[in-house]
Structure 1
Amino acid sequence: MTKQNKHTKFINLGLKDYKETWDYQEELFKAQVDRKIANRKLPEAEQTPTENIVIFCQHPHVYTLGKSGKPEHLLLDQQGLIDKQAKYYKINRGGDITYHGPGQLVGYPIIDLDNFFTDIHKYLRYLEEAIILTLNDYGIAGGRIDGLTGVWIDFEDMDKARKICAMGVKCSRWVTMHGFAFNVTADLDYFKNIVPCGIDDKAVTSLDKELGYVPNMQEVEDRVKGHLVDLFEMKID
């Protein structure tokens, strides 16, 4: 078996078109999967470790529909998308429909779980935990709701619960892609045009709305990164 490589590279793409970022993810993902397949045909001494990359970015307004999603959960027609200056893509992650836009920290880990642990549920819980710990840094209690992936505020009261971070991932041969979308200063009105993640009876929220002031995005990103590194025991060069 190839030796575990916990070295992880973090890349910030800034505000980046969704399709361009998706293509970039696919390129990185394929390279790691291809490397794993090639390694199986080589003696251990000749195998090349897979790489781990975490992309942080924001996107211009866009709606994405996961493999298990329902198209009717987008409440806009083509003209409505034009009016909102938003794009729409059907993609290959799990989950239903979600929104990405400026002011939302999007994280795409393209990592080989063979380098960490081979448990997709633990992986999702660690992504959630990084956001929960970040919220805690700001004095906000975030948590989980059984059966609903993501991070929630007022998660113990189903009438008040509101989602602050959505998640949807793809995993093949233990290599991951797609990830999480953390509403930091996002325009929440855009969520009114969808049934977020197929859930029609829960609100969405953002960090600035909960805090009552606008946090520094770079600071938020640094905190999320730090918690991911700690939880996964990543090594940063």
Structure 2
Amino acid sequence: MNAEAATGLPAPEWLISEERVPVPDALAAMEARAAAIRAGTAGEAVWLVEHPPSYTAGTSARPEGLLESRFPTFEAGRGGQWTYHGPGQRTAYVMLDLTRPHGTIPARDVRAYVHGLEEWVIRALDRFNIRGERREGRVGIWVQDRANGTESKIGAIGVRVSRWVSWHGIALNVDPDLSHFGGIVPCGIAEHGVTSLHALGIPATMEEADSALIAAWAEVFGDRT
């Protein structure tokens, strides 16, 4: 049974922007869509975008986390600290009405919702035979380099929930310029690096990453059709 049949409500609309979306434009569009969802004048949505090179500050960001202002910086209003966005990174903005359940995610449970976002990224990575993992006390999705005994972040998570409507979401590193992360302390964690599908030897296209995310969504949040 699909999500619409199970709940009587439409599944989220999937939107994919072909052009790079400036961060301020994305913030304005998300806020407007979230307000419309709350008002009942628009449906839920998952919006897949790429941004021009940018640094965004979450509500916990500290000035010392910005090491070098290489790119424009923006106050994002989401949870978390400093994050890089840029070409080769798929950012997925998730706008859901959390007053109702979604697949395995119960209603009005922000912790479960964040856990669901993590599980979504983990299951998408599994389609590339990459094992994504959570780490206690560290936000995001991590992969291990067992040969070197190190680990790096491949996916970032930052959310905002306004009157039980979610916005912001996740960022998956497909093939960004990893040197661009050097201008910040990513998510406030200095002792571990960042990686990408391409850096791990998986030459996935953005379209293949999107397909993995769309397929994995159904397993966590319910069928999309």
Q: TM-score, normalised by structure 2?
A: 0.88
Q: Does residue 221 of the first structure (1) align with residue 206 of the second (2)?
A: no
Cα distance, 1:115 vs structure 2: 2.8
Counterpart amino acid of residue 93 in structure 1 = R
Is 1:94 aligned to residue 83 of structure 2?
A: no
Residue in structure 2 matching 1:69, options 49, 61, 79: 61
Larger radius of gyration: 1
Count of equivalent residues: 213
Within the candidate set 145, 167, 173, 2:163 is matched to 173
Gaps of 5+ in 1: 36-47
Deviation at residue 213 of structure 1 after TM alignment: 4.4
Which residue pairs with 2:3 in the alignment? Answer: none
Length-normalised TM-score, structure 1: 0.84
CA contact (8 A) 1:103 1:184 kept: yes
Map 1:82-161; keep pairs closer than 5 Å: 86-116=71-101, 117=106, 118-154=108-144, 160-161=150-151
Residue identity matched to 1:90: E
Q: Is the 8 A contact 1:5 1:51 kept in 2?
A: no
- Cα offset for 1:139? 1.3
Structure 1 stretches of 4+ with a deviation exceeding 2 A read 3-6
- Supply the AA of the counterpart residue of 2:98: L
Across the aligned residues of Structure 1 and Structure 2, the Cα RMSD in angstroms comes to 2.1
Identical-residue share of aligned pairs (%): 33
For the 8 Å contact 1:98–1:197, the answer to whether it is kept is yes
Report how far residue 67 of structure 1 moved: 0.7
Deviates more, 1:97-106 or 1:110-119: 110-119
SS across alignment from 1:113: coil
Higher helix share: 1
1:16 to 13, 21, 24: 21
CA distance in 2, matches of 1:233, 1:120: 17
Unaligned runs of 5+ in 2: 1-6
